[in-house]
A and B are shown apart, each in its own frame.
Chain A
Amino acid sequence: MATPGPAPTTDDDVSSWSFEAIGTSWTVDVDRPVGPAARRAVADRIEAFDRDWSRFRSGSVVDAVRAGAGRHRLPDDAGPLVEVYDALHRLTAGAMSPAVGGSLEHLGYDAAYSLRPAPGHVPAPDWGAVRWEPPYLVTGEPFVLDVGAAGKGYLVDLVAEVLEQHVAGAGVTVDASGDLVHRPGQGAPPLRVALEHPRRPGYAVGVASLDGAPGRRALCASATNRRTWADGVHHVLDARTGAPTTDVLATWVVADDARTADAVATALFLAPPETLRRELDFTWVTYDALGALRASPDFPGELFR
């Protein structure tokens, strides 16, 4: 099998390295040099996650769930992922669901990247009818599992944990293009992150300031115009209808972990922030279809409006 993208390319210790993995660009910064063993561990963690969960690779658990109803053993790291999806499925009244894969495939977002939407929309099967009996997912009908709304953020958390095990106490920033975890080094200034204007590349609508104290902080961004392949067709769907969302164009969320921030960044396309904040701890910025910028008063940073 081919060597995964993130494999170390040098035996030297480095404090910053970049690679391509799970279809996106990653950059890892550590406040001290890191040897090839730690970088190899990062690469292996990403490869394992992709192999286990990708809707775009054969042999993953997605294949089994697609093949038929039954008791499907999920990967060992499944618990937190199922948990955040369960919460957001409930808080969005069913609009957000990991069972939405079939709806995405109907619109052409499939393993072959055909990107040819079939007519109409296909609602997702009811995630509420699926039972989670760890480590088994008990399904009553076949469907296409898609953990794209939270999986990447969760993987960023997992990569940060791998690094913290190898270089305890180090300042670490893991940036997977839109999903970022920052654990500040001692005495380090806050990490300033530009919130890219969804309609004007090269411009920012604000800057988030992550001090990280006392532990990790995560910032996740989502934009529906990032992956639009036909008029009004993008990757954030309302699972109840299978149709792409229209009201919000871009979201940014700061939370203690990227799993939550990533999932909420998607949920903000589907439900009001106040509803989500009833159960989840996060701060937010949204840019809606009319061009209005909104944010929670406690968002760490500044907005240009």
Chain B
Amino acid sequence: MSSFSPARRWLLAVVATSTLALTTGCGIGQQADDTSSADDTSSSTESTDTGSSSTDEGTDDTGAGAETGGTYTAGEYEAEGSYDTPGGTQSVSVDVTIDAEGTIEAVEVTPQAESGNSVQFQNEFADGIADEVVGQKIDGLSVSKVAGSSLTSGGFNAAIDEILAEAQA
């Protein structure tokens, strides 16, 4: 069964591309940026093929149907995204575990690159990405104020939102 449409894989591919672009050095970074721009300007309706070769092993409902009472179907979701680099097409695997409230409990990124700069970049990306979803819900904190930027969803949030939408019962 497929838990991710090609459009969702595309979103994750964009996330991988733009975040990796931030981690790269000048020359390659520029090209990665270009790739990202091209992706961003293409419509999300372009869902059939973005060069994404995916082995879809999504397994929703690993919770054996235990937590279906909430808004979301708890479980572990997996998607594989691909992106183009000067060294060829690369891919990363992203695992997201959510609970029935839609809270992301864990994110695991598995680098798929086998050679070249992509290995280093993907490892950095994988090391860093778990930090991107840690944090606590502000609603649950005893605070008087919030300092930061209320912002529209960036690429990563868009991908996460897609995953949550997918998981909604």
Contacts and interface: CB of A to CB of B under 8 A. Distances in A.
14 contacts: A173-B144, A173-B145, A178-B148, A192-B141, A192-B144, A193-B145, A194-B148, A200-B157, A204-B138, A221-B149, A250-B148, A304-B134, A304-B136, A305-B134
B135 interface: yes
6 smallest beta-carbon distances between A and B, as pairs: A196-B148, A290-B128, A226-B149, A223-B149, A291-B132, A291-B131
A202 B138 contact: yes
Contacts of A198: 148-149, 151
B12 to A, nearest CB: 15
Task: Place the interface of chain B in its size category.
Answer: 35 or more
A204 B148 CA distance: 9
Given A194-B147, A289-B23, A292-B128, 19 more contacts: A173-B145, A175-B145, A178-B148, A193-B146, A193-B147, A195-B147, A195-B148, A200-B135, A204-B136, A204-B138, A204-B141, A207-B141, A207-B143, A220-B147, A289-B22, A290-B125, A291-B130, A304-B135, A305-B134
Best-surrounded residue of A192, A193, A194, A201 (most CB of chain B within 10 A): A194
Nearest to B127: A290
Given A203-B138, A290-B124, A208 B147 contact: yes
Contacts, number: 121
Given A203-B137, A290-B23, A291-B128, A196 B150 contact: yes
Interface of A: 173, 175, 178, 180, 191-205, 207-208, 219-221, 223, 225-226, 231-232, 246, 250, 252, 289-293, 304-305
B37 interface: yes
B156 A180 contact: no
B39 to A, nearest CB: 10
Interface in B116-169: 124-125, 127-139, 141-151, 153-154, 156-157, 160
A225 B154 contact: yes
Contacts of B95: none
B108 interface: no
Contacts of A197: 135, 148
B128 to A, nearest CB: 3
Contact of B132 (A191, A196, A199): A199
Nearest to A254: B147
B138 A194 contact: yes
Contacts of A223: 148-149, 151
A199 B36 contact: no
A304 B143 CA distance: 14
B145 A178 contact: no
Contacts of B84: none
A192 B143 contact: yes
B67 interface: no
Given A192-B142, A207-B143, A232-B33, A225 B151 contact: yes
